[in-house]
């Protein structure tokens, strides 16, 4: 006698904001299941979500009578829940008793029975405010589908309006993109979804507004010089420094590309410095604004980067490539929220990170990556700065107070740029932070030559008066982009006579809110000789100045009354010209004749006497 068919209560799908977990035994043994999950996003940021499920019976005696889907998140966000099969509405039951969960149960009446018979159905619902507006970008985050290997086939499709902008960051990296009318459609196959969460960022540029305070104090009885680090240009960010008050003595660029403002403090003096501006950030690295002259600096051992330790050297030799090093750090270190909560944030360094892999915060992820990269012969360094996160559990900022986050970068010789990565955030979020950055990281200081200096904004505090000093927010507006004329000043003689070689200098100051790079300075002398005739200034930061020593010499014996020095400074399409008059004088002039008239008269008398005597002798001889 044939056994009666046994109904199956099918599959609990647990979602952490659309987070799917499949009952492995049911999926593998009793049903063949494939699904397509679609996110149709409109211009208001609402998402219409559908789960298109195809479920085939593997046995004639087992069939499904119901299907359950659980969505984790505020139950009030899930709206307009329906289920259907072949145009026929299915009965559903929605349980919102837990405010953090929405359980949707779909009933099949009658159920689909029989071996190899397929039940095709769809669950639809809507989530408002599904898209996170992050400055000028729009962000969609869909966590990884758990136990996806137990499903026979899964496809994930995101469809967003084209006016969101291009998808500049997509994780995981293996996806298909196409344009469909006014939509951008991103598709992930099942193999793409095994390991990484899904995140897509639309928009190709981000703007961050910063308001930084630096509290300096000179407790000594002698004047002192203090240096602060301003947010610098990097391969990913362009800085527009709109205010720096009070003005520094000088702004310099160091070997790492840091912008360093120099202040002189009188004895016992305190200075509060305000720096304001806007950072323009891109997802893709551009050519480095300053290419290092000596890459060996970024291979050296330093405190916290113990490249000479045998454990580090051996591991680097085995890993070899930068992606292997990165994924080793991501996989083997575990982020410790307890250390952050308890403010146990003293920096451990790479070697201790290896020995205590479950006690890492962002500094350990960064230090281990740098030490391994350097030991493998790959130039690497550290970025200290700010990273925006709406979910500290998923994307944590390890350090408290104003120093918020650290992440590494390595030199990519293929693109001729420093490429930033964030192993901390990939470890905690399972989002790919190796192939692209998310335009939410703002560099405040670069550590390459030293693992500790310069200190980033937020670290300049007075011992007994700690104040909040880093305020960063997204903005929609760039500051004034017009360029002011460079301030060209000279310390040169105003007159020069033949045979003189006089030395002096030209000083060029940048009054603009951005740095100028590869500034070509050409010096032309009209009636004068000039050396050097041409020089290149690699970088001139906002409010920065540079001094060019020059030699001026007179080329004309008779002088030239309108002689002058012409200084041309060019950076891209930006051209500046300055005329500097320098009078070229002859050693013989009416002024000199008048000044020495007695000598001139004596010379004339002597000449005349000589001529008279010579003629008289000639006549006598004749």
User: Phi and psi for 323 in degrees, rounded to 5?
Assistant: -70, -35
> What length does the chain have?
622
The DSSP-derived string for 72-108 is: ES-GGGEEEEEEEETTEEPEEEEE-SSTTEEEEEEE-
Closest by CA to 421, choosing from 435, 431, 403, is 435
What per-residue confidence (pLDDT) applies to 6?
42
What per-residue confidence (pLDDT) applies to 597?
62
DSSP code of residue 311: H
What per-residue confidence (pLDDT) applies to 409?
98
DSSP code of residue 393: T
CA angle 332, 326, 411 (to 5 degrees): 155
What per-residue confidence (pLDDT) applies to 10?
39
Helix (H) or strand (E) holding 145: none
Strands 62-72 and 6-16: parallel
Q: Pick out the chain residues at pLDDT < 50.
A: 1-27, 398-400, 590, 593
What per-residue confidence (pLDDT) applies to 76?
72
Q: In 334-434, at which residue ranges do the beta strands (DSSP E only) sit? A: 380-387, 405-412, 417-420
Helix (H) or strand (E) holding 300: none
DSSP code of residue 165: -
CA angle 604, 606, 610 (to 5 degrees): 115
Token pair for residue 423? 């192993």
Hunting for tokens 């790492």 — which residue is that?
Answer: 256
Contact between residue 256 and residue 379 where contact means Cβ atoms under 8 Å apart: no
Contact between residue 123 and residue 70 where contact means Cβ atoms under 8 Å apart: no
DSSP code of residue 296: G
What per-residue confidence (pLDDT) applies to 1?
41
């Amino acid at each position: 006698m044939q056994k009666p068919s046994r109904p199956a209560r099918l599959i609990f799908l647990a979602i952490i904001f659309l987070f799917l977990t499949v009952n492995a035994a049911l999926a593998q043994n009793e049903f063949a299941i494939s699904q397509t999950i679609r996110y149709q996003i409109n211009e208001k940021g609402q998402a219409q979500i559908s789960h298109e499920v195809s479920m085939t019976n593997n046995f004639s005696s087992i069939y499904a009578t119901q299907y359950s889907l659980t969505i984790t998140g505020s139950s009030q966000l899930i709206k307009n829940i329906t289920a259907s099969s072949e145009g026929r509405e299915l009965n559903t039951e929605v349980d919102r008793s837990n405010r953090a969960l929405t359980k949707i149960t779909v009933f099949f009446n009658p159920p689909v029975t029989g071996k190899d018979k397929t039940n095709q159905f769809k669950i639809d619902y809507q989530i408002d405010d599904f898209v996170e507006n992050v400055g000028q970008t729009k962000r969609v985050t869909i966590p990884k589908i758990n136990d996806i290997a137990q499903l026979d086939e899964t496809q994930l499709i995101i469809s967003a309006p084209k006016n969101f902008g291009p998808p500049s960051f997509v994780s995981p990296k293996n996806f298909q993109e196409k344009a469909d009318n006014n939509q951008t459609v991103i598709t992930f196959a099942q193999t793409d979804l095994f390991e990484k969460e899904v995140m897509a960022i639309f928009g190709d540029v981000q703007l961050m507004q910063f308001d930084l305070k630096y509290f300096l104090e000179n407790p000594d009885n002698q004047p002192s010089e203090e240096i602060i680090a301003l947010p610098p240009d990097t391969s990913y960010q362009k800085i527009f420094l709109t205010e720096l008050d009070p003005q520094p003595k000088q702004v310099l660029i160091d070997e790492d590309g840091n912008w360093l403002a120099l202040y002189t403090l009188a004895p016992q003096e305190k200075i509060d410095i305000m720096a304001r501006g806007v950072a323009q950030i891109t997802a893709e690295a551009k050519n480095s604004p300053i290419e290092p002259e000596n890459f060996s600096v970024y291979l050296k051992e330093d405190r916290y980067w113990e490249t000479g330790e045998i454990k580090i050297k051996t591991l680097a030799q085995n890993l070899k490539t930068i992606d292997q090093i990165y994924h080793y750090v991501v996989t083997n270190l575990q982020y410790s929220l307890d250390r952050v909560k308890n403010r146990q944030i003293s920096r451990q360094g790479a070697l201790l990170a290896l020995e205590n892999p479950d006690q890492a915060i962002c500094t350990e992820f960064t230090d281990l990556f740098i030490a391994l990269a350097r030991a493998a012969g790959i130039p690497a360094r550290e970025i200290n700065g700010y990273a925006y996160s709406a979910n500290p559990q998923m994307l944590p900022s390890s350090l408290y107070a104003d120093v918020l986050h650290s992440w590494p970068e390595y030199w990519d010789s293929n693109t001729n740029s420093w490429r930033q990565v964030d192993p901390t955030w990939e470890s905690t979020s399972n989002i790919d932070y190796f192939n692209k950055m998310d335009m939410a990281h703002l560099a405040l200081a670069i550590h390459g030559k030293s693992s500790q200096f310069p200190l980033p904004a937020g670290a300049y505090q007075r011992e007994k008066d700690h104040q909040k000093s880093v305020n960063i927010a997204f903005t929609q507006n760039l500051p004034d982009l017009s360029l002011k004329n460079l301030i060209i000043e000279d310390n040169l003689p105003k007159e020069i006579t033949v045979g003189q070689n006089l030395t002096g200098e030209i000083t060029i100051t940048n009054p603009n809110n951005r740095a100028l790079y590869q500034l070509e300075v050409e010096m032309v002398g009209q009636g004068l000789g000039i050396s050097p005739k041409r020089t290149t200034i690699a970088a001139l930061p906002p409010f920065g100045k540079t001094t060019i020593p020059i030699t001026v010499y007179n080329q004309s014996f008779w002088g030239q009354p309108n002689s002058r020095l012409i200084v041309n400074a060019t950076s891209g399409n930006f051209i500046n010209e300055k005329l500097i008059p320098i009078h070229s004088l002859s050693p013989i002039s009416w002024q000199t004749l008048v000044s020495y008239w007695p000598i001139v008269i004596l010379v004339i008398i002597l000449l005349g006497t000589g001529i008279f005597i010579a003629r008289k002798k000639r006549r006598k001889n004749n």
